[in-house]
Amino acid sequence: MKKYLFIAGRNIELSSAEIKSFFEREKISFKIISKIKNGILIETEKILPKGIIEHLGGTISIGEVISEGNFQKISKELDNKTLYSVTGNKLNYVLFDFGGKNYDEIQNYLKRKFREEQLKATEKKISGRIELQGGKRVSKVSSSLIDEQYFVFADSFGIITENYDFDSAEKRDMKKPVRRSELSISPRLAKILINLSQVKKGETLLDPFCGIGTILQEALLQDIKVIGIDKDKSATHDAKINMEWFKFKKENYKISNEDSSTAEIPKVDAIATEPDLGELQRKIPTAEKAKELVRGYENLMIKVLKNLKKNVKGRIVFTAPLVETIKGKISPDFERIANATRLKIILGPIQEFREKSIVGRNILVME
């Protein structure tokens, strides 16, 4: 058995659901042992392959547990281990604290160990912060000058082995020819929706509200074939431009300008999509206005899902509006959608929002 720490982004519930779905798809036996702050401790039956983090949208870092137990046991096991990969004699490192029972003792132990090994090691303060959903703030590394990252999680000690490549994700999002910042989802969220759908490499994913193609691009990057539909002609035009910019093989994607409530589609393995969440809200709407918005969304999704479901083999993953009003957040009636379409809710709704946002998202999985 092997234990790993997954450091989630700002929404640990959504990140946990994505990890679970990803592992199930990849047939990796696992168990979530504990969650502390934005850390998720997982036990697996086999060693995880490198590079998993680039397939996940909701995970910042992955670390391996190399020792656990009381401080005496951990320190004895670490005495004969090399805990760094720097080639010189200088080391900048950080130590994350996820409710670590031995944190202070391990902190002092590392300083002593590195000094005995004649290493000029400096423990850096973790100055970066992530604001989690709900408002709580947790630490993150914001400097590129850190050589090693260690963590203490309850009675476990480990080393961070993989970090998400934010620069690469931002580059492909910001550099592509066509962007619609107010209407498009991020590559991060697109990956999460794809993973929740459990669509596999070589299978076909449908996005019936494809917009300029963010979900399509992230699926194609994972060798998943895609079909994109949107009734906005300019959106499908721009999606094609973006796909050409990525140099995807044309036989792996099809984009059409149609209404998904009437479009005829071939058999597909899954759906992942961000539908129209309603008009942009510049100020907090009344409860009546919000109810009108979500009712319109319900009617739209019922028509679209009724039309498409017969040709969908697996999961249907979609976002839905989560509207802030003076009286609290209002969501669509998902049971109404499920009953009208004869689909089953298997996950969600999981809320995804920022504290000052007017319209956030619910994320659902049906089949």
Helix (H) or strand (E) holding 78: helix 71-78
207-237 tens-digit pLDDT: 999 999 999 999 999 999 999 999 999 999 9
Between residues 178 and 319, the one the model is more confident about: 319
Q: State both tokens at 273.
A: 């999509």
pLDDT at 309: 95
- The answer to whether 282 and 256 have CB atoms below 8 angstroms apart is no
Instruction: Indicate whether 179 and 273 sit together in one domain.
Output: yes
Residue-range definition of the domain harbouring residue 319: 167-366
pLDDT at 143: 63
Residue 279: is its pLDDT beyond 90?
A: no
Instruction: Indicate whether 314 and 230 sit together in one domain.
Output: yes
Instruction: Indicate whether 77 and 153 sit together in one domain.
Output: yes
Instruction: Indicate whether 154 and 185 sit together in one domain.
Output: no
Give the rounded percent of residues in the chain with a pLDDT score beyond 70. Answer: 96
Letter for the amino acid at 14? L
Instruction: Indicate whether 105 and 157 sit together in one domain.
Output: yes
| Distance separating alpha carbons of residues 192 and 263, to the nearest angstrom | 26
The CATH number given to whatever domain includes residue 326 is 3.40.50.150
Tell me the torsion sign for CA atoms 45, 47, 53, 54: negative
| Distance separating alpha carbons of residues 278 and 165, to the nearest angstrom | 32
Q: Which of 272, 276, 240 is nearest to 255 (CA)?
A: 240
Could you give phi then psi for residue 297, rounded to 5 degrees?
A: -65, -45
Last residue of a domain, one of 141, 164, 187: 164
Number of domains in the chain: 2
Mean pLDDT score across all residues of the chain: 89
Instruction: Indicate whether 118 and 190 sit together in one domain.
Output: no
- The answer to whether 138 and 130 have CB atoms below 8 angstroms apart is yes
Say which range, 109-113, 124-128, 327-331, 337-341, has the weakest mean pLDDT: 124-128
Q: State both tokens at 250.
A: 């044309």
Instruction: Indicate whether 315 and 198 sit together in one domain.
Output: yes
Q: List CB contacts of 250: < 8 A, sequence separation 6 or more.
A: none
Cβ neighbours of 165 (radius 10 Å):
11
- The answer to whether 362 and 294 have CB atoms below 8 angstroms apart is no
- The answer to whether 186 and 217 have CB atoms below 8 angstroms apart is no
Instruction: Indicate whether 48 and 118 sit together in one domain.
Output: yes
- The answer to whether 63 and 4 have CB atoms below 8 angstroms apart is yes
Instruction: Indicate whether 184 and 326 sit together in one domain.
Output: yes
The CATH number given to whatever domain includes residue 87 is 3.30.2130.30
Burial label, 314 (beta-carbon count in 10 A; 0-12, 13-18, 19+): middle
Last residue of a domain, one of 120, 137, 164: 164
DSSP secondary structure of 185-235: PPHHHHHHHHHHHT--TTSEEEETT-TTSHHHHHHHTTT-EEEEEES-HHH
Last residue of a domain, one of 164, 194, 218: 164
Residue 282: is its pLDDT beyond 70?
A: no
Instruction: Indicate whether 174 and 144 sit together in one domain.
Output: no
pLDDT at 49: 87
Instruction: Indicate whether 75 and 147 sit together in one domain.
Output: yes
β-pairing, 156-163 with 59-68? antiparallel
Q: Which band of pLDDT confidence, cut at 50, 70 and 90, is reported for residue 284?
A: confident
| Distance separating alpha carbons of residues 6 and 4, to the nearest angstrom | 6
Most confident of the ranges 95-99, 164-168, 275-279: 95-99
Q: State both tokens at 361.
A: 């998202």
Strand, helix or coil for residue 367? coil
307-327 tens-digit pLDDT: 999 999 999 999 999 888 887
| Distance separating alpha carbons of residues 156 and 97, to the nearest angstrom | 11
Instruction: Indicate whether 320 and 252 sit together in one domain.
Output: yes
Mean pLDDT, to the nearest integer, of 106-127?
89
What is the largest distance, in Å, between two alpha-carbon atoms of the chain? 72
Three-class HEC string of 276-312: CCCCCCCCCCCHHHHHHHHHHHHHHHHHHHHHHHHHE
pLDDT at 129: 74
